[in-house]
Amino acid sequence: MADAPAGSWVPGADGSGFGIENLPYGVVRHRGGRPVPAIRIGAFALDLAAVASAGLLPIPGLEPGVFAEPALNAFLGLGPRIWSDTRRRLQALLAKGSSELDPIAVPALLPLEEVRTVLPVNIGNYVDGYASIEHATNVGRLFRPEGDPLTPNWRHVPIAYHGRARTVVPSGTPVRRPWGQRPPAQPGAAPSFEPERRLDFELELGFVTAAGPSLGEPIPVRRAAEHIFGVVLVNDWSAREIQRWESQPLGPYLGKSFATSISPWIVPLEALAPVRVPGVPQRPEPLPYLRLEDPWALDIDLEATITPEASGVATRVTRTNSRGLYWSAPQQLAHATSGGATIGPGDLFASGTISGTEAGSYGCLLERSRAGREPIPLDDGGSRTFLEDGDTVTIRGYGEAARISLGELTGRVAPAGTWSGFHE
């Protein structure tokens, strides 16, 4: 693709992280109206339904009604040629010196403070991975201190679990502390059923898919870009006590099913080309169907903060980078479809917790607090081992090499509800 035009006429867009080189897609409600697809440019959302209905997106194969839908699934289903053509056209409309949008710029260019972002896609399937070797090693050492922290299969297969698509929620949605079974207090005793005490966040990236081939046809790693639309921030909230009790022998269930948050703006894969770098060496070499030829690691700086409700003071509890992920998005996609499964527009694949090699780069509180044994100091004078009610977790991402922001993803912990069914 040709370089993006040098700057935009939209006030404040240049240098904001949401300039003309980014143009992420989302869905917004303007002053309570119906949801419409939009792109973010600076501190504005450009209503794509208005732009298309004005005849300003004359792209073969792009019907105007695609952007009249309340989600982006139909657009994602059109494939990479139309995505690329649409992106170039939008860049031309927003470039310095362009005046084609003038007649509709005021009604179509919506200040962010006047809109509410909603879930950008209807998510049909959700898969969460375990792609960070640092995270897998740290967790393995916590729970298997005398053995190999990595299971024998970890370096051979991109491990993942199938999550709950219906509990994927947009940024800003409160997350209620879940109820569940907790492990027995002593051997031979019965488990209890109570609100989770060890609530955690997980700092992750996710990729959103396009249409896939027919059932039974795999997606080769070399063709992954045809089926990956873009990237979002992900917080896969985790109930650690519930997870520990239920995970043997089949893995996460209720410990992960109550909520997964995603950021509101999907950054197109094309925009991330300048931050694609070679990944870490994989030893032993993966099986042929998982071998990569192109650079697919993403050089994106990531951070997570916790803000207690009482103080309102944010503390950065982790800072890391996604370029160190062991398993890449194409490898996750190739493996997921290698056995015959298919994908559809709007499916979500998450990386799993992204961690580095030092405590300040660990992507969840389970690692940072060493399973609750070491409290983490907060800037307001308090501390945390796990999340408390009223805490707000904020995750941010930025690709410095491309001046690309992934924005921020927030979620506030709400108290557990009264589970009356337990007493019936």
Q: Please check whether residues 130 and 101 belong to one and the same domain.
A: no
Question: What pLDDT, in 10s, does the model give residues 84-122?
Answer: 999 999 999 999 999 999 988 889 999 999 999 999 999
pLDDT of residue 341: 94
Write a three-state SS string for 51-110.
HHHCCCCCCCCCCHHHHHCCCCHHHHCCCHHHHHHHHHHHHHHHECCCCCCHHHHHHHEE
Question: What's the CATH code of the domain at 40?
Answer: 2.30.30.230
pLDDT at 5: 72
Query: Looking at the structure, do residues 102 and 172 belong to the same domain, yes or no?
Result: no
Instruction: From 118, 138, 163, give the residue that closes a domain.
Output: 118
Q: What is the pLDDT of residue 216?
A: 84
Residues with a known catalytic role: 135
What was the pLDDT predicted at 267? 98
Looking at the structure, tell me whether residues 216 and 339 fall in a common domain. Answer: yes
Q: What pLDDT, on a 0 to 100 scale, did the predictor assign at position 6?
A: 81
Instruction: Looking at the structure, tell me whether residues 341 and 397 fall in a common domain.
Output: yes
The tokens of 265 are what? 């703006």
Position 144 scores a pLDDT of 87
pLDDT of residue 373: 96
Q: What's the CA gap between 260 and 128, in Å, rounded?
A: 10
> Does 147 share its domain with 182?
yes
Single-letter amino acid code for the residue at 132: S
Residues 134 and 175 in one domain: yes
Same domain for 234 and 252, yes or no, is yes
Domain's final residue, options 118, 150, 165: 118
Total domains in the chain come to 2
**Is there a domain that residue 1 lies in?**
no
pLDDT < 70 positions in the chain = 1-3, 420-424
Instruction: Write down which residue in 92, 118, 144 finishes a domain.
Output: 118
The domain of 217 spans: 126-418
Output the pLDDT for position 422. Answer: 53
Q: CA torsion sign, 123 to 169 to 16 to 224? A: negative
The per-residue pLDDT for 248 is 85
pTM, 2 dp = 0.96
What was the pLDDT predicted at 2? 55
The confidence score (pLDDT) of residue 421 equals 59
Give the strand pairing for 383-384 and 376-377: antiparallel
Which residue type sits at 361?
Answer: S
Q: In terms of domains, do 292 and 397 share one? A: yes
